[in-house]
Amino acid sequence: MCSASLCAQLDSIQYLNEIVLVDSKLEEFSEGYTLTKISDTLVSRNPVSLSDLLNFNSNIYIKENGYGMVASPSFRGTNASQTAVIWNGIPINSNLTGQTDFNTIATASLTNVIIRSGGGSSQYGSGAVGGSIHLNNTIEFTENSSNELTIYYGSYASVGAIFKRKIATEKKYLDMAFDFISSDNDYEYVGLNRKNNNGEFNKLNISMNGGLRLNNSSLIWNSNYFSGSRNLSGTITTLNKDSYKDETFRNLLTWNSTSKKWNNTIKGAHIFEKYQYYPNRENVLYFEGKSNTIIGDYQLEYNINEKIMVSSILNLTHIKAEGSNIGDESRNTLAAIFIWKQLVSDQLSYNINIRQEFFNDFENPLIVSVDTKYKINQWYSLKANASKNYRVPTFNDLYWNSGGNVDLKPEISYQGAISNEFYFKNFFLNVNLFYINSKNLISWQPDMNGIFSPINVSETENIGLEMGVNFSKSIQENMFNIGIDYAYTSAKNIETGKQLIYVPYHKVTGTIDYRIQRFNAYYQQLFNGKVFTTTDNSTYLDSYLVSNIGLDYFFLYKTMPIKIGFKINNILNKYYENVAYRPMPNRNILTTITFKF
């Protein structure tokens, strides 16, 4: 009923043929990369947003402008536009900002979330520099009909509901998920005798996924609609009146045909995104931006022999964006990708990826990556990868009025990583070392007339160490699981030698799970080291340690499985900020009840 594993490595997971991962290349061509899967159990413990989920379960630093507000990641010390978010294989970072706001991603409808550490531009395009976050829906062609309803209620008048329905046969599959949350979000600033003002939010997400299995082919459809409305929290020194509305709609159709030697995949996708910013929510005036992206993608895989597979992908992307401050602009990009995969022996395999883009108005860099996995023995594997990656200027960077700069070049990064994985009976250890050198980083700076304009200016060097341990043990009816992740990140501006702002040197996350009979108790902990808030490192935020505890209880009502969950966030009632002057919530509770029928 409930898996207690913290972060299972993909290598150890057996996929049944009946289960189709829409983004098949994620596992097929990434052996030399660290992939970390966040299980649905963890997803269900952090139902509100992707920010919560990653904050407590990954090495990624999340900058949140107050709880539930605009949130952006720093992955391996890179900037917010250098983490790609990939939905079923399709990149969904905003064309306007280059980022994904992690508080606009609903997680309940996803089968799993996979974190791919390291550069992935050769496969996933712009922005996959520090790493990529993969939001996956799997299609399961096994006889099934199930319904699941979760209702949750928590502090600050937070109410939410998740309804999931799944119907499947061996030939057909359909699921839908409906996810809604609303919160006053007026938490207390610990020790300041004040409440969070103007922080109300509500979010609605509807997702549908369907599949048809024919003889040697399959047709899969993924669809997701999100609508969010937020007031934007003030800071310690300001009271805000502004508000923000987001809307995204994504559709993806995938047709796949397989023979012994050949595998053809054709994809068509449409992505719509829109935001509206109201400087004063009491007034009708707003600023907006929206974009439509159409993607056509053809992938041909050919098995030369049992050991060698080649794959080529042609991807055409058309983007049309318009907005109050950018006018009406469009971009076409053709990308050609070639992948070579060889299994040298049972122990050793490697992949080579080459990507070239065409048509972009700016320089089109040639992107290359190489990765390898060497399974030295049963308990030890060595992985290594090296890649060149890029991030294209966003529509805001290019066309924003005032300041947009059409002469920008893409940001370029070179990186390498070595990863050691140790497997023992109940124990898994992972040690990664990485190096990233980024050039031509885009930074908005004032010109002679004081108008801010983006330029390719800075160069950074990131060096880091990541360690993850996971330990499980069962003693009779008692099941323990402990997982700890630690990351050390040095990210320097080469010119000044200073640590980049909002990149902690240290981040530690940990979870302890204990199961006995129908009870599952857990403890989550997050430690963020101090982060600098100014580029000269003259001011910083203190380090903090936040802990959550929770208890889940499972029982049957007649034949209906029911789970009741109770969780206390920030149990020690710590004051903490991950963006300066924007305090995060005090101690608060979340109760959930889930019915399966």
Partner 1 sequence: MKTLKNLIYLLIVFLFITSCSSDDETVPAPLGDYVNGILITNEGPFQNGTGTITYVSNDYTTIEQQVFNQVNSADLGSIVQSIGFNDEVAYLVVNNSNKIEVVNRYSFESIVSITDGLMNPRYFISSGTNGYVTNWGDPFDNTDDYIAVIDLLSQTITSTIPVAFGPEKLILINNVLYVAHQGGYGQNNILSVIDTSNNTLASTIEVGDVPNSMVVLDNNLWVLCGGNPDYTGNETNGKLLKIDVSDNSVIQVFDFLTSDHPKHLSADGSHLIYNLNGVVYSKDEADISLPQESIISGTFYAMTTKDGKLYATDAGDFASNGTLKIVDLSTNSEIQSIQTGIIPGGVYFND
- Choosing from 506, 516, 519, 555, the residue that interacts with partner 1 (CB under 8 A) is 506
Q: How far apart are CA 523 and CA 568, in angstroms?
A: 10
> Are residues 121 and 129 in contact, defined by beta-carbon separation less than 8 angstroms?
yes
Nearer to partner 1, 8 or 482 (CB): 482
Token representation of residue 14: 């057996």
Closest by alpha carbon to 120, among 387, 460, 354?
387
Nearer to partner 1, 63 or 250 (CB): 63
Q: How far apart are CA 39 and CA 27, in angstroms?
A: 16
Query: Binding segment for partner 1 among 42-50, 216-224, 329-337, 578-586 (CB under 8 A)?
Result: 578-586
Nearer to partner 1, 3 or 238 (CB): 238
327 binds partner 1 (CB under 8 A): no
403 binds partner 1 (CB under 8 A): yes
Name the minimum Å distance from CB 573 to partner 1: 17
Which residues, listed in sequence order, are joined to residue 295 by a DSSP beta bridge? Answer: 269, 317
Nearer to partner 1, 173 or 502 (CB): 502
Residue owning tokens 């199930």: 146
Using CB under 8 A as the binding rule, the residues of this chain from 257 to 286 that contact partner 1 are 279-280, 283, 285
Nearer to partner 1, 477 or 536 (CB): 536
Nearer to partner 1, 71 or 295 (CB): 71
Using CB under 8 A as the binding rule, the residues of this chain from 88 to 147 that contact partner 1 are none
Q: How far apart are CA 41 and CA 108, in angstroms?
A: 10
Burial class (CB in 10 A: 0-12, 13-18, 19+), 560: exposed
**Element (DSSP H or E) covering residue 142:** none
Q: How far is CA 237 from CA 192, 553, 580, 583, in A?
A: 12, 43, 11, 11
- Choosing from 340, 374, 380, 471, the residue that interacts with partner 1 (CB under 8 A) is 471
Other C-beta atoms closer than 10 Å to the C-beta of 140 total 16
Nearer to partner 1, 86 or 232 (CB): 232
Residue owning tokens 């076409």: 332
Name the minimum Å distance from CB 548 to partner 1: 16
Closest by alpha carbon to 9, among 381, 360, 317, 536?
381
Closest by alpha carbon to 593, among 5, 175, 44?
44
Nearer to partner 1, 181 or 571 (CB): 571
Token representation of residue 309: 């597979």
DSSP 8-state code for residue 251: E
Between CA 29 and CA 33, with CA 31 as vertex, the angle to 5 degrees is 105
Using CB under 8 A as the binding rule, the residues of this chain from 421 to 460 that contact partner 1 are 424, 426-427, 443, 445-446, 448-451
Nearer to partner 1, 327 or 556 (CB): 327
Name the minimum Å distance from CB 432 to partner 1: 16
Name the minimum Å distance from CB 381 to partner 1: 19
486 binds partner 1 (CB under 8 A): yes
- Cis amide leading into 402 (omega within 30): yes
In the stretch 359-398, what mask flags binding to partner 1 with x, by CB under 8 A? Answer: ----------------------------------------
Q: How far apart are CA 287 and CA 275, in angstroms?
A: 8
3-class secondary structure, 358: strand
484 binds partner 1 (CB under 8 A): yes
Q: Judged by CB under 8 A, how many residues of this single chain contact partner 1?
A: 50
**Element (DSSP H or E) covering residue 396:** helix 395-399
Nearer to partner 1, 3 or 324 (CB): 324
Nearer to partner 1, 210 or 483 (CB): 483
Nearer to partner 1, 295 or 501 (CB): 501
Write the DSSP assignment of 410-469 as a string of letters: -EEEEEEEEEEEEE-SSEEEEEEEEEEEEEEEEEEEE-TTS-EEEEEEEEEEEEEEEEEE
**Element (DSSP H or E) covering residue 190:** none
Name the minimum Å distance from CB 543 to partner 1: 5
Phi, psi of 370 (to 5 degrees): -130, 135
Using CB under 8 A as the binding rule, the residues of this chain from 508 to 567 that contact partner 1 are 508, 510, 527, 529-530, 533-536, 538-540, 542-543, 545
- Choosing from 469, 549, 551, 562, the residue that interacts with partner 1 (CB under 8 A) is 469
Q: How far apart are CA 271 and CA 300, in angstroms?
A: 24
- Choosing from 579, 585, 588, 590, the residue that interacts with partner 1 (CB under 8 A) is 579
Name the minimum Å distance from CB 559 to partner 1: 39
65 binds partner 1 (CB under 8 A): yes
Name the minimum Å distance from CB 240 to partner 1: 10
Residue owning tokens 């505890």: 549
Which residues of the chain form contacts with partner 1 (CB under 8 A)? Answer: 65, 235-239, 279-280, 283, 285, 401-403, 424, 426-427, 443, 445-446, 448-451, 469, 471, 473, 482, 484, 486, 501, 506, 508, 510, 527, 529-530, 533-536, 538-540, 542-543, 545, 579-582
